Amino acid sequence: MRVPDVQDRLRELASQHGLPELDALASELSRRTPATRASQRSATMTPELRDAIRRYRRTHPDLTQAEIAARFHVNPGRVSEALSGKRT
C-alpha cells in the first residue's frame, strides 16, 4: 500500500468512526514543499556536451573526472556516465 492509499484509508476510517484525529494524522503524511531549492549549477547534458567530454578525455588522459567535470561545469558523476556511455 502506498502513502496516498494509506491517507485515503485513514480519512475513510476517520469519517466512519467520527475520529477527527485520524483525519489530522492523514494530513501529516503529505509531503511538504521545500522552503528553498538550490539553483541548478551544472550544465545540461546534451549529446554535444557528452561528445566534447569524451574528446577532452582522449586529449587529456591524465586528468581526473573531477577536473574534467570542473572544466565542463557538470558533476563528476555526469562525466562518468558520459565516458561509460550511460549518458546521452
Residue 53 sits in the same domain as residue 80: yes
39 in any annotated domain: no
2 in any annotated domain: yes
DSSP 31: P
Residue 1 sits in the same domain as residue 26: yes
H and E: helices and strands count for the chain = 5, 0
Q: What is the pTM of this model?
A: 0.55
Task: Give the count of domains, the chain.
Answer: 2
Domain of residue 17, residue span = 1-31
Each residue of 32-53: pLDDT tens digit? 777 787 777 778 889 999 999 9
Q: Burial of 73 by CB count in 10 Å (0-12 exposed, 13-18 middle, 19+ buried)?
A: exposed
- Report the alpha-carbon distance of residue 81 to residue 45 in Å, rounded: 10
41 in any annotated domain: no
Residue 52 sits in the same domain as residue 78: yes
Each residue of 50-71: pLDDT tens digit? 999 999 999 999 999 999 999 9
pLDDT of amino acid 12: 94
